[in-house]
Amino acid sequence: MNIINILEEIEKVDGEVYERLSPRRAAMKQFYSFGSKVAVAAVPLALGSMFKKAYGQSTSTVLDVLNFALTLEYLEYNFYQTGLNTAGLIPAGTPAVAAITTIRDHELAHVNLLKGAITASGGTPVAFTAANFDYTAKGTFPTVFTNYPTFLAVAQAFEDTGVRAYKGQAPSLMSAPDVLQTALQIHSVEARHASHIRQMRKAPAGGGVTALKPWITGANDSGVPQVDAVYKGEDNVVQAGVNIPSLGVSTAAATESFDEFLVKADVLAIASLFIRS
Amino acid sequence: MIFSAVCHAKDSYNIYLTEPTIKFKTIYLMKNFQQEDQEVLHKESGILTARLQRRSFLQYAGAGAAGVALLAAGCKKDDGSEGLRLGGVNLGSGDVGILNYAYALEQLEAAFYDAVVKTPYASISATELSLLTDIRDHELAHREFFKKALGANAIIGLEVNFKSINFADRTSVLATAKAFEDLGVSAYNGAGKLIKSADYLVLAGKIVSVEARHAALIRDLIENGTFANAEVVDSNGLDKARTPKEVLTIAQSFITTVINASNLPS
């Protein structure tokens, strides 16, 4: 059942239905940011929380998401920038330099886009520099900028995390359709990056992780047990109650064909490993 | 009221009113209402009827439900061909319409990769065949998922037209794969904001990133390093987003069945 559709449809017959429910039509519209998954019995409660949301919290929700995304983009941008600035890390004279440069450029563009969007919405963008990050993850990856395969392994973790992070925030942006679309347009670029980085890791110079695919197979296919948290739940094979292998594909294909999301807390737990306190 | 009906499959139907379109949606609404939401109506009747009389509201509901029953009955013996003559396969409206739109695109992709894997191009490498087989399986999973999730609301199986593709030629196959994958990514990116249910939005998100992984791989197979070049990613670092109309205009040249997207949200 979908209470939002119901209210919308009633509105077409009775243009003042929102006013009946609330003195502020806008308050009802805030209900969108809620998603529509509200149990029948929970409707009165949901209506109550909706009014709380209507008084100023929706904008801050969107700004929170944007600043969360900006944090991740700073993490990625400074990572690639440091890598490119480290002589001898990325094999000179190979396509790897252009690939990492392309990805670095996209992350910088995302940083600038998000900063601008936050400022334009009256928010204050978070600010990070390379000095704020510890890409060894407190010593877990001591060779991140001296060993090329390690650099790529961490890059893969960042890209796959980025994809999952944007995906998880999409419902929080439903009240702001344009922002949602922009986030989706970033989301798929991160997935393109992830696909390419995975291919780079398969090459002998990149570590020769030949079992790796451009898509995620099962839980943590990266070959790096330290990043288990990045792939938590990626082995899920049930989508919207439908068991995907029962449709006639292998379990591996079932996990590959749907990328899973991560909630904000899980993403922040991963990112915080790389942020100096 | 002018009714017309499009019957999509032997056991399913879709209906719409040529005018006024408002009431079509209301019929859907009331159908849902009757099935699942009578309790809500009861509980919320106090506020719903504060100024709108309960009696007139229920009269309206009754009219809508009767209309559904009438049209459903009229569709039962239909084999779908009548509906096609009336204006193609109707994707429907709301989230169902968007899911059918995605289902249509996944049908196209699955049919394409199925043909690619069944008749691989000349001297295909084991690595490329393995990657393309994976993609075929993913598109199959997507297609069958949508079919199952849509149930009786699912559109019919579409008839594809691959006359322009030379399946024996690697260049032709990969160029088509690239076009389909980039198109799919832009389609999901553009459809996200049209989805009303957070659950379906997340599902679309789970699929679009896989399509983007495909797109990047196919591009790298054609020319290494083009996974996210300026052809698809703009100076703001954004992938493309296309409206359903833009996407279907491109996709229709590969689909014989006429797709009617006129009731999709925009």
B140 in reach of chain A (CB within 8 A): yes
Q: To probe the interface with B, which of A37, A188, A217, A260 has the most B CB atoms within 10 Å?
A: A188
How many contacts does A have with B, using Cβ atoms within 8 A? 246
Burial class of residue A210, CB neighbours in 10 A (0-12, 13-18, 19+) = exposed
Q: Does B32 touch chain A (CB under 8 A)?
A: yes
Task: Write out the H or E segment, with its range, that includes residue B75.
Answer: helix B54-75
Helix (H) or strand (E) holding A168: helix A148-169
B38-44: list long-range contacts, CB under 8 Å, 24+ apart: B39/A40, B40/A1, B40/A3, B40/A6, B40/A40, B40/A43, B43/A43, B43/A44, B44/A43, B44/A44
Of A24, A74, A93, A81, the residue nearest A54 (C-alpha): A24
Q: What average pLDDT is seen over chain B?
A: 78
Q: Per-residue confidence at B74, pLDDT binned at 50, 70, 90?
A: very low
Q: Specify the range with the lowest mean pLDDT, choosing from A26-35, B80-89, B224-233.
A: A26-35
Ranges A56-70, A116-130, B187-201: which has the least confidence: A56-70
Statement: residue B217 has pLDDT above 90: yes
Give the nearest partner residue to B209 out of A16, A106, A187, using CB atoms.
A187
Contacts of B43 in chain A (CB under 8 A): 43-44
- Min distance B200 CA to chain A CA atoms (Å): 9
Residue type, A39: A
The chain B residue lying nearest A261, using CA atoms, is B206
A-facing residues of B in 170-199 (CB < 8 A) are 185, 188-190, 192-193, 196-199
* B259-260 vs B89-90, strand pairing mode: parallel
Instruction: Look at A235 and B48; give whichever has higher pLDDT.
Output: A235
Which of B207, B235, B238 to mutate to probe the A interface, most A CBs <10 Å?
A: B238
Percent of chain B at pLDDT above 70?
Answer: 67
Q: What letter represents residue B192's amino acid?
A: G
Euclidean distance between CA atoms A270 and B259, whole angstroms: 45
Burial of A228-257, coded b for 16+ CB within 10 Å and e otherwise, reads eebbbebbebebeebebeebebeebbbbbb
Of B139, B189, B210, which is closest to A215 when you measure between CB atoms?
B210
Give the pLDDT confidence score for residue A169 in this predicted structure. Answer: 98
pLDDT tens track for B120-169:
999 999 999 999 999 999 999 999 999 999 999 999 999 999 999 999 99
> Min CA distance, A60 vs chain B (Å)?
19
CA of B7 vs chain A CAs: smallest distance (Å): 24
Which pLDDT belongs to residue A259? 98
A2: pLDDT strictly greater than 50 = no
Instruction: Please say whether the beta carbons of A7 and A17 come within 8 A.
Output: yes
CB-based contact B138 A253, cutoff 8 Å: yes
Cβ A260 vs Cβ A164: under 8 Å: yes
pLDDT 10s digits, A119-144: 999 999 999 999 999 999 999 999 99
SS3 at position B262: coil
Q: Among all chains, which residue has been given the structure tokens 């239909």?
A: B78
Partners of A239 in the beta sheet? A242
Query: First-to-last CA distance in chain B?
Result: 24
**Residue B66: Cβ within 10 Å count:** 12
B148 in reach of chain A (CB within 8 A): yes
Closest CA to B155 of B96, B217, B91: B91
- pLDDT tens string B16-67: 333 333 333 333 333 333 343 333 333 333 333 333 333 333 333 333 333 3
Torsion, Cα A181 A182 A183 A186, to 10 degrees, reads 120
Percentage of residues in chain A with pLDDT exceeding 70? 79
Average pLDDT score over residue span B207-236: 98
Q: Which of A13, A113, A258 sits opposite B237 (nearest CB)?
A: A113
- Among residues B73, B146, B133, B71, the alpha carbon closest in space to that of B105 is found at B146
Closest CA to A183 of A139, A117, A129, A265: A117
Residues of chain B with C-beta less than 8 angstroms from the C-beta of A189: 212, 228, 233, 237-239
pLDDT at A56: 43
Residue A90 confidence (pLDDT): 98
In Å, the largest CA–CA distance within chain B is 73
Across A182-204, average pLDDT: 98
Question: pLDDT by residue (tens digit) across B253-265?
Answer: 999 999 999 999 9
CB contact under 8 A, A102 and B201: no
The three-class DSSP label of residue A118 is helix
CB-CB neighbors (< 8 A) of A13 in chain B: 22, 26, 60
Q: Helix, strand, or coil here: B25?
A: helix
Regarding beta strands A242-243 and B2-9, do their DSSP bridges make them parallel or antiparallel, or are they unpaired?
unpaired
What letter does residue A275 receive in the DSSP assignment?
A: B
Terminal-to-terminal C-alpha distance of chain A: 46
Helix (H) / strand (E) containing B12: strand B12-19
* Alpha carbon distances (Å) from B20 to A9, B2, B4, B16, B112: 13, 8, 12, 9, 39
Q: Point out the residue among A5, A249, A253 whose CB comes nearest to the CB of B94.
A: A5
Average pLDDT over residues A192-217: 97
* Residue A275 predicted with pLDDT over 60: yes
pLDDT of residue A8: 52
Q: Assess B145–A contact: CB distance below 8 Å, yes or no.
A: yes
pLDDT at position A277, please? 82
**pLDDT recorded at residue A59:** 80
CB B107 within 8 A of CB B158: yes
| Tens digit of each residue's pLDDT (9 = 90 or more) over A238-261 | 999 999 999 999 999 999 999 999
Q: Band the pLDDT of B88: cuts 50, 70, 90.
A: confident
Q: Which residue of B has its CA nearest to A182?
A: B238
- Which of the four pLDDT bands, split at 50, 70 and 90, describes residue A22? very low
| Residue B30 CA to its chain's centroid (Å) | 23
Between the alpha carbon of residue B178 and those of residues A189, B112, B140, B216, B241, the distances in Å are 15, 12, 18, 8, 16
Query: pLDDT value at position A58?
Result: 72
Q: At residue B46, what is the residue type?
A: G
Alpha carbon of B156: minimum distance to chain A alpha carbons (Å): 18
Helix (H) or strand (E) holding B2: strand B2-9
Nearest-by-Cβ selection for A199 from B43, B193, B220: B220
